Amino acid sequence: MNTLDWLTKYEAVAVWLEGIALLAIFIWDRVDATRDHKETVAQLKLAQDQIKLSQNAERAWVMTELVWPQGELKVVFGASRQGDQPQLETTTVMVKLVCKNQGRSPAWIDTIQAYVEIVETRLKDLPPAVGHRTQHIPPVGPIAPGDEKWKILHLQTPGQPKNNQLLSIFVLVEYRDIFEQKRITTCGYTVSGSHLDRQDQFPDRNVNT
């Protein structure tokens, strides 16, 4: 059998084998590319995690607390009447909001929202803070690392607490740091007599992100 006859006879086999070889090369390239892609994704995720850890280490951490101005109870009860309308009773609470930057970079306070409400002594029935109508408070400005700033809040609610009721205060502070990340810190307090107690039993009212 001469060469021409051999090529003619086995041409189909040769084409078939070539097709298998090309398919194998294609599959191997895909497998190799997939492996490289997975390695690249893993490396990118590792780099992102390292960046996040670095930012968390250098970020601003604004913590908030409420205290009585000059250490004294500041609750004022008022009443007013317009014409023949029923008398309107109000309760105003004056508290000192202290914002402390416990992080390693400056913090810029963007907004402060707060409210006071009358609640039953059964604090397990305390309504959620989300969606409540709040008073907007002027921000306190930038806070350097390790520094603190404060502002006196005048919070008012309709009505006056009875013997079986308490005053509940909620404050939300929105701020950002050098990484331009928007962050939130909140605090909830209860006024019972002359005591101002943090609502530690409600984690959703004491959040720092």
**Residue 133 φ then ψ, to 5°:** -70, 125
* Interval 108-150: pLDDT, tens: 999 999 999 998 877 776 767 766 788 999 988 899 999 999 9
- Tell me: pLDDT of 98 over 50: yes
CA atoms within a 13 Å half-sphere pointing along the CA-CB vector of 204? 6
Q: Please tell me the total number of residues recorded for the chain in this structure.
A: 209
Beta bridge partners of 91: 77, 157
DSSP annotation of 126 reads P
**CATH number for region 62-205:** 2.60.40
Q: Distance (Å, rounded) from C-alpha 94 to C-alpha 143? A: 23
Q: Is the model more confident about 39 or about 166? A: 166
* Interval 48-72: pLDDT, tens: 555 554 556 788 999 999 999 998 8
* Contact between 140 and 112 (Cβ < 8 Å): yes
Tokens coding 2 = 């001469």
* Contact between 88 and 158 (Cβ < 8 Å): yes
* The pLDDT value given to residue 137: 92
* The pLDDT value given to residue 84: 79
* Interval 11-53: pLDDT, tens: 455 555 566 666 677 677 766 666 655 666 665 565 555 555 4
**Every domain of the chain and the residues it spans:** 1-58, 62-205
